[in-house]
Amino acid sequence: MQIMKDFSNLEKKIGVHFKNKDLLKQAFVHRSYINENPNFEPSHNERLEFLGDAVLELVVTENLYQNYPNPEGELTNWRASLVNSQMLAKLAKKLALEDYLYLSRGEAKDKNSKARAYILANCFEALIGSIYLDQGYQTAKKFIAKYLLPELTEILAKQLYLDPKSKFQEIAQDKLGITPTYQVLKETGPDHAKKFKVGVYLDSNLIAAGLGTSKQEAQVKAAAIALKKKNWE
């Protein structure tokens, strides 16, 4: 059974009134819905997401280049923090984009998973793609400037552009003159599905331990926990 959704409130909220309503609708169609409803029009949003991703990256890059004289490496890290899936999913939730998604019955039930966060992030990019096609670059740029670019203030203030390992190392070196080290404490599971417990140390002191399906993932989690324990967030 196909679903009919009214996008007029969303258009009012974002201040963009589409000439081609199907472009707006398509931004919210997940591939899983098409699998269950093969005759549904328009198709899924993956091509719009591909386009929106490029527009988003250009707008953010342009803004950073014009407003910050920092080196390329720093600007790259800042941009990555702005356009990652976690940030885009957060903004999608703020705009209640979830209410407009076309999902399969299975996907519709799975509300709080990582998969749903990715779907929301991809939808946000697809929406940018649809705005670009319907209204042009300047309107897409205004949308990104209104909803995404203000997040940079918090990213810079809290150094969120640093991953937990980098951040823990930077603060430990600054405060204590010590470079953290990591050690595998435990390995479990068969070779194709191993789990690792990794500890992060300052000198010989174990500060925290993290679990992951790879050593790298466990190290990142250990560093994140260590940041909290040391009140270095």
The domains found in the chain, sorted by start residue, are: 8-157 (1.10.1520.10), 164-229 (3.30.160.20)
Active-site entry in 49, 107, 125, 134: 125
- What rounded mean pLDDT belongs to the chain? 94
Bridge partner list, 208: 200
Q: Residue 161's pLDDT is what?
A: 86
Which has more confidence, 109 or 8?
8
Q: What is the pLDDT of residues 41-86, one digit of tens each?
A: 999 999 999 999 999 999 999 999 999 999 998 899 899 999 999 8
Give the active site residue among 49, 53, 107, 134: 53
Query: Could you tell me which residues come within 8 angstroms of residue 130 by beta carbon, excluding any fewer than 6 positions away?
Result: 18, 23, 24, 26, 27, 48, 52
What pLDDT is attached to residue 112?
76
Mean pLDDT over residues 200-222, rounded? 95
125 counts as catalytic = yes
Q: Residue 138 above 80 pLDDT?
A: yes
Over residues 94-116, the mean pLDDT reads 90
d(CA 2, CA 47): 22
Backbone angles phi, psi at 6, to 5 degrees: -105, 115
Residue 1 pLDDT level (bands cut at 50, 70, 90)? low
Instruction: Note the pLDDT of residue 2.
Output: 59
